[in-house]
Amino acid sequence: MKEELTTCNSCINENCFIKKHIHLEQMKSYIDKKRSFICKKSQQFIIEGAPIQGLYFIHKGKVKTVKTGINGREQIVRLTKDGDTVGFRGFGTSKRYLIGAYALEDTVLCNFSNTDMLEILHNVPEFTFDLMLFYAEELNKSENNIRKIAQMNVRERVIDTLLYIHRKFGQLNGVIELDLSRKEIADFAGTTDEQVIRVISSLKKELLIKTVGKKIGLLNTDKLKSEIKEHK
């Protein structure tokens, strides 16, 4: 991965944990120690089971976080974009990453080492409090996802995934601004490639979505939302 110079003070990601706290005097010395680099599309920068190397913050780009399941199949557990945090699962409680992470496009990442992150948590109470709330929210999301996967049928899971991606990344020129293969959609929805292809074909015939290459655009979000409203 190629080193890249990023400056926290000029960063526009207001949702980034570091950006939110750069006004604090205690943060200045840690920001100077930050590493930043470019991760090319499809490149893995966190290996599941590898020693933890601190936390990553996305300066610009998109990332998928994965967990290995039965028979070695990877389940996508999180999709992230500019300003999001990656690598927090297991941080502080484990010496190894509990997930893997890949860049979905050329992505600029900022990294703070284990030592610096632990010092921040000990010395910057405001940062620690906000991170605690973040963990609580992520736990709530994980529990809701487990419930939905257990209760939804395949069509509902695919619709829920498409709505989530649409909400997270938005649409440009009528298609969602995220390049995901049918396999990746299946890995996120907890189903198979074949089932995803069938559901997408059905949704197209019903004029609820459209496809441009492998990109997908939602044509009727209200109708799609109504199909899964009982699970919300």
Measured CA to CA, the distance from residue 92 to residue 89 in angstroms comes to: 9
User: Computed from CA positions of residues 175, 179, 224, 164, in that sequence, does the dihedral angle turn out positive or negative?
Assistant: negative
Residue type, 189: A
| Res 206 pLDDT > 90 | yes
3-state secondary structure of 110: strand
For residue 121, give both structure tokens: 């948590």
Contact 52, 87 (CB under 8 A): yes
Please write the tens of the pLDDT for every residue from 86-135: 998 777 777 889 899 999 999 999 999 999 999 999 999 999 999 999 98
What is the share, in percent, of the chain residues with pLDDT greater than 90?
A: 69
Which pTM does this prediction carry? 0.90
Pairwise CA distance, residues 126 & 132, whole Å: 10
pLDDT in tens, 19-74: 999 999 999 889 989 999 999 999 999 999 999 999 999 999 999 999 998 778 88
Secondary structure of residue 161 in the 3-state scheme: helix
Amino acid at site 87 = G
Q: How confident is the model at residue 2 (pLDDT cuts 50, 70, 90)?
A: confident
pLDDT at 232: 66
